Structure 1
Amino acid sequence: MRSRESHSIHLVLFFSRNVSLRTWAEVGMFDREVALYLKHQKEGLKISFLTYGDESELEYSERIPGIDILYNKWGLPLPLYFLLIPLLHSGALRRASVLKTNQLSGGRIALWSSRLWRKPLIVRCGNIPSDMTAQTHIKNPVHMRRLRRYEAKMFHAATAIIVAAPAMRDYITRTYSVLDSLIHVVSNHVLTDLFRPKVVSSLPNRLCFMGRLEKQKNVETLVEACSGTGLDLVLIGNGSLRNDIKALAMNSGVNVTFMGNLPHAELPYQLCKSRIYVHATHYEGSPPKALLEAMSCGLPVICSNVPGIGEFIIHGVTGWLCGTSREEIRNAIDIVLRDGDLQERLGRNAREFIVKSFTLDEAARNEVAILKTVAL
């Protein structure tokens, strides 16, 4: 199989539909998301970001020097901009040696561009919508058929597929009969130099969760599990259930601090002030970045034994697994909170596990190897 040198590869990254650099900044994920591409750049790759932002995208150019920002400089309505992307950005797309999706959302326009300009396409996905939808147990056959048709089209057209966990690779090969050799597992990375244990006093009764305040994340049940315990719960992130969770906390007598979205650099401090990190979600597509970052900080973590989490946590070694009910979460919190030796052991092992398997260097090395084999 042919292989290109890094310095001759021009990668165009297609952002998810309607997402911009400003979006990344506002939700506190900018630094984490761009780190991989700044690393690629140091290896000699030319990088272009194709986003859905307006001219305000250029405000972020100093934070990603050398990366071209392809944005909606025409001020077009987003639906029209979406359709015209292959033509509006034809110059960069013609010069590219490989196109890549950041997620499946918005991948359709990457596929059109790939076909129009005859460029290899890497379909990268942190989760698979049809699989995630199936785990909600919401019966909507029409919606599921649409998802499956879209995913089949994307996966069968891809030159290569990048997923974040082995279970996702297995799902794609089983569901869409895609050759296993086309699918590559590149784990979510953690900035381990930023997310590391810090000399800061953790508060003895403080628990922490980071993520979207949505049904999937099971935050309401976590609040209920803390009722009557005297524990303080810190929630980092926003979502449609924020007001409902706030009302539940007041009615349950639970002291909940809503911190909203924080800059990425502030997260380690907030994590290290907590005694335990809890991630008791109903399901995940792959090991969630928030959980990995908490583990990298050396926190003992309690997490649900569900797809996307249960297969990579070793119970009692790198974390403590539990169910998703109020009683199961509360019992796990009681066990871990009253055993200082267990906390120390879980935190130490978690940090070692992340440093060994989820570093930025490892993710960049694996992805560059894929790029070298598919780029024109």
Structure 2
Amino acid sequence: MAKLSQVRYVLFFTQGMSLLGWKRGGLLEREVALYRALRPHLRGVTFVTYGDRRDLPLAAELDGIEVVCNRWGLSPGLYRWRLGWLPGSWKRGQVVFKSNQLRGSDLPLELARRLKKPFIARCGYLPADQAKWSEGVESEVARRAMALERRVFAGADRGIVTTPHMQAILAEDYGIGGDKVRVIPNYVMTDLFRPPVPEGRPPGRLIFVGRLERQKNLHALIEA
């Protein structure tokens, strides 16, 4: 087994997402914080994004994290193809590929198989679960999402989901369970998000930061 200091961690962004997209959405610092903390313990960290050349200047803010982006302005299909054959340190030696979400995770799975590297399928939500809510259980969208989930998690060396509910779905719907799928909740930047001192907490007040969507299950929060 390789030492952690010999491993390069390669994160594949969600299909279509870029560093610039993270920055414009106010997510850059939060999304990068985990990998910035890991960076000193690893041989390196690489972000594979779907952004164009505008992602490159943002790399200077990432404390040594390497950025691979579509600097050539290729079409999405050609860019994915080029990633498969593009040389680089992010493919050599002890490397672990990881997806940030399931959309686009077929690319790191394919590369991992071809290069004989381990692949971690990570997601914060299951697209099929969301599609069943919005489009219906028998919809084509839900069926395609289920096919992607089955293929990616079955082919991965390890799966990471954020809730026990997601873990149970993978076990029940696809027979993928046991030690292969781990639950690791989303991390919280406690230096920014922490309860105020008791004296400054108004009674009967609740604060929610997030999208107002059914997926967020706000009714459970209000009832609690």
TM above 0.5, one fold? yes
C-alpha distance in 1 between matches for 2:77 and 2:155 = 23
Does residue 282 of the first structure (1) align with residue 220 of the second (2)? no
In 2, the alpha carbon distance for the partners of 1:56 and 1:173 equals 41
User: Matches of 2:140 and 2:181 in 1, distance apart?
Assistant: 27
The answer (yes or no) to whether the contact 2:95–2:118 under 8 Å persists in 1 is yes
For residues 133-174 of structure 1, the C-alpha deviation after alignment (integer angstroms, 9 at most, x for no partner) is 223363553222211111111011000001111111111011
1:304 alignment partner, SS class: helix
Q: Tell me the equivalent position of 1:112.
A: 110
Distance in 2 (CA, whole Å) between partners of 1:123 and 1:101 is 5
Change (3 A) 1:60 1:179: same
RMSD over aligned CA atoms reads 2.6
**Structural mapping, 1:48-127, within 5 Å:** 48-89=46-87, 91-127=89-125
Assess if the C-alpha contact under 8 Å between 2:154 and 2:176 holds in 1.
yes
Return 5+ residue gaps in structure 1 as ranges.
218-280, 288-302, 306-318, 323-376
> Cα–Cα, structure 1 residues 180 and 139, in superposed 2: closer, same or farther, change >3 Å?
closer
The answer to which structure, 1 or 2, has the higher relative contact order (CA under 8 A, 6+ apart) is: 1
Q: Which residue of 2 aligns with 1:348?
A: none
What CA deviation, in whole Å up to 9, does each residue of 1:329-375 have, x standing for no partner? xxxxxxxxxxxxxxxxxxxxxxxxxxxxxxxxxxxxxxxxxxxxxxx
- Counterpart of 2:215, as a letter, is Y
Contact 2:9–2:42 under 8 Å retained in 1: no
- Following the alignment from structure 1 to structure 2, what is the Cα–Cα distance between the partners of residues 96 and 5? 9
Runs of 4+ with >6 A deviation: 199-207
How far apart are 1:205 and its partner, in Å? 11
**What letter corresponds to residue 304 of structure 1 in structure 2?**
H
* Count of aligned pairs: 223
CA shift for structure 1 position 94: 3.1
TM-score by length of 2: 0.88
Q: Give the conservation status (yes or no) of the 8 Å contact 2:135–2:141.
A: no
Q: TM-score, normalising length from structure 1?
A: 0.54
Q: Determine the C-alpha separation between the residues in 1 that align with 2:70 and 2:87.
A: 10
| Matched AA of 2:219 | S
Q: Which residue of 2 aligns with 1:169?
A: 167
One-letter identity of the residue aligned with 1:211: G
User: Alpha carbons of 1:6 and 1:96: their partners in 2 closer, same or farther (altered >3 Å)?
Assistant: closer
Q: Check the 8 A contact 1:120/1:158 in 2, yes or no.
A: yes
Maintained 8 Å contact 1:21/1:60: yes
Could you tell me how far apart the structure 2 residues matched to 1:40 and 1:134 are? 36
Distance 2:223 2:105 in 1: 34
Instruction: Name the CA distance, whole Å, in 2 between partners of 1:209 and 1:179.
Output: 32
Pair member with larger Rg: 1
